[in-house]
Amino acid sequence: MPLLETVPNLSEGRRPEVVARLAAAASSGPGVRLLDFSSDPDHNRSVLTLAGEPESLHQGLLALYEAAIAEIDLNRHQGVHPRIGAVDVTPFVPLGDTPMEVAVAAANRLAPVVARLGLPVYLYERAARRPERTLLADIRRGGFEGLAARLADPAWAPDFGPSHPHPTAGATVIGARFFLIAFNAVLATADVSVARAIARRVRESGGGLPAVRAMGVHLASRDLAQVSMNLVDYRRTPILTALRRVEAEAAAMGTGVIETEVIGLIPEAAVRGVSAADLKLPREIPILEERLTS
């Protein structure tokens, strides 16, 4: 049977008991494995990594959406990470020899079912039905607070569901994509303007590194700034290349990188020959294949 990974991002990172219930719902499909989950109070976000066959993942994700609608109210949500939904984004990623078409089919199957819960649904990346909806950042522009106005624009009518936000759960984005590495660098400064300047220089849209998206945020819990990156194709920009560029830009601005963190799991091919010390990670590199076989 084809095997998929899915990485739902949840707009909740401060209530561990809620995250635990959401993780249990997501992994409730028969044969679904919860490989990893992490929560961040500053981003107020949790990321689950699950693997399984398409049918089992479908069941678990539907249970997750139902639970998230009951548990999360975006009107009360605050955090530094952009978001438009309680379940903000749900990507499917093919594992092993599974073709991308299977991931696209899983996204297309889940989207209309989730829409029946009262959520506007956008399809993105390889499942996008319109080219301007390929990039997550373009869909999410304006955040939850600007969602009603965006949905009222006919050009941004959802692919499925109502043309108005769910009153507490907003909207959601579902798609299919290649492996993404969420990689954050904590700086030796509390000045968020420094992190934002570094992010502008590092990300592809600012003329920086290919397949790198970045933003600068302030971590209130540590009173430090962070460069938060998504490496959307490690074959174009390896993770160590991204770190070295951030370090160089930080040094040019009179600061440095204290440590880094990885959110979720990394394919072994992306870190072959690279150690945790090389990446300034305080713990071992979380390898996807090791979790799948453990």
- What is the CB neighbour count within 10 angstroms for residue 29? 22
**Catalytic-role residue among 81, 164, 166, 218:** 81
In 3D, which of 194, 198, 191, 237 has the Cα closest to residue 214? 198
Catalytic-residue membership of 81 = yes
Q: How far is CA 226 from the centre of its chain?
A: 16
Give the span between the Cα atoms of 40 and 16, in whole angstroms. Answer: 10
Kindly report the CA angle at 166 between 83 and 7, in degrees rounded to 5?
Answer: 45
253 exposure class (CB count in 10 Å sphere: 0-12, 13-18, 19+): middle
Q: What is the DSSP string of 28-53?
A: TSTT-EEEEEEEETTTTEEEEEEEE-
Nearest 5 degrees, angle CA 142-CA 148-CA 153? 85
Please give the DSSP secondary-structure letter assigned to residue 254: T
- Would you say 247 and 257 are in contact if contact means Cβ atoms under 8 Å apart? yes
Q: Give the number of other Cβ atoms within 10 Å of residue 285's Cβ.
A: 18
36, 286 contact by CB (below 8 A): yes
Amino acid at 79: G
Which sequence positions are flagged as catalytic? Answer: 81
